[in-house]
Amino acid sequence: MVRLFKPSFRKQIARIEVAGAIASDTRKRVLEALKQVEERKFPALLLRIDSPGGTVGDSQEIYQALKRLGEKIKIVASFGNISASGGVYIGMGAQHIVANPGTVTGSIGVILRGNNLERLLERIGVSFKVIKSGPYKDILAFDRELTEPEQHILQELIDTSYGQFVQTVAEARNLAVETVRGFADGRIFTGQQALELGVVDRLGTEEDARRWACELAGLDPEKTRTFNIEEKKSLLRRLRTGSEMQGDRLGSLLTHRLSSATDWIEFELATSGVPLWMYRP
Kindly tell me if the per-residue pLDDT of 189 is higher than 80. Answer: yes
Q: How many C-beta atoms lie closer than 10 Å to residue 258's C-beta? A: 10
User: Mean pLDDT, to the nearest integer, of 43-53?
Assistant: 97
DSSP assignments along 15-82, one per residue: EEEEES-BSHHHHHHHHHHHHHHHHTT-SEEEEEEEE-EEEHHHHHHHHHHHHHHTTTSEEEEEEEEE
pLDDT at 1: 46
Kindly tell me if the per-residue pLDDT of 6 is higher than 90. Answer: no
Q: What CA–CA distances, in Å, run from 50 to 16, 29, 104, 162?
A: 11, 15, 10, 22
More confident of the two residues 193 and 240: 193
Spatial distance between the Cα atoms of 256 and 246, rounded to a whole number of angstroms: 15
Helix (H, G, I), strand (E, B) or coil at 173: helix
Percent of the residues in the chain that have a pLDDT greater than 90, as a whole number: 67
pLDDT at 238: 44
C-alpha Rg value of the chain to the nearest Å: 22
* pLDDT, tens digit (0-9, with 9 covering 90-100), for 102-118: 999 999 999 998 777 77
pLDDT at 242: 52
User: Mean pLDDT, to the nearest integer, of 186-209?
Assistant: 98
User: Mean pLDDT, to the nearest integer, of 197-213?
Assistant: 98
The answer to whether 154 touches 139, Cβ cutoff 8 Å, is yes
In whole numbers, what is the pLDDT of the chain averaged over residues?
87
- Confidence class of residue 205 from pLDDT cuts 50, 70 and 90? very high
More confident of the two residues 253 and 90: 90
Kindly tell me if the per-residue pLDDT of 146 is higher than 50. Answer: yes
Kindly tell me if the per-residue pLDDT of 144 is higher than 90. Answer: no
List of residues 6+ apart from 4 with CB closer than 8 A: none
* pLDDT, tens digit (0-9, with 9 covering 90-100), for 223-257: 999 999 986 654 444 444 455 445 565 555 555 45
Q: What CA–CA distances, in Å, run from 153 to 23, 42, 147, 156, 239?
A: 24, 45, 10, 5, 50
pLDDT at 247: 54
Kindly tell me if the per-residue pLDDT of 3 is higher than 70. Answer: no
Spatial distance between the Cα atoms of 275 and 99, rounded to a whole number of angstroms: 26
Which has the minimum average pLDDT: 13-22, 47-56, 126-135, 254-263?
254-263
pLDDT at 36: 97
Kindly tell me if the per-residue pLDDT of 69 is higher than 70. Answer: yes
pLDDT at 114: 78
Burial of 242 per CB tally in 10 Å (0-12, 13-18, 19+): exposed
Percent of the residues in the chain that have a pLDDT greater than 70, as a whole number: 84
User: Mean pLDDT, to the nearest integer, of 141-155?
Assistant: 89
The answer to whether 229 touches 33, Cβ cutoff 8 Å, is yes
Spatial distance between the Cα atoms of 21 and 147, rounded to a whole number of angstroms: 31
β-strand partners of 95: none
Spatial distance between the Cα atoms of 256 and 90, rounded to a whole number of angstroms: 26
Residue numbers annotated as active site: 85, 137
Phi, psi of 54 (to 5 degrees): 170, -145
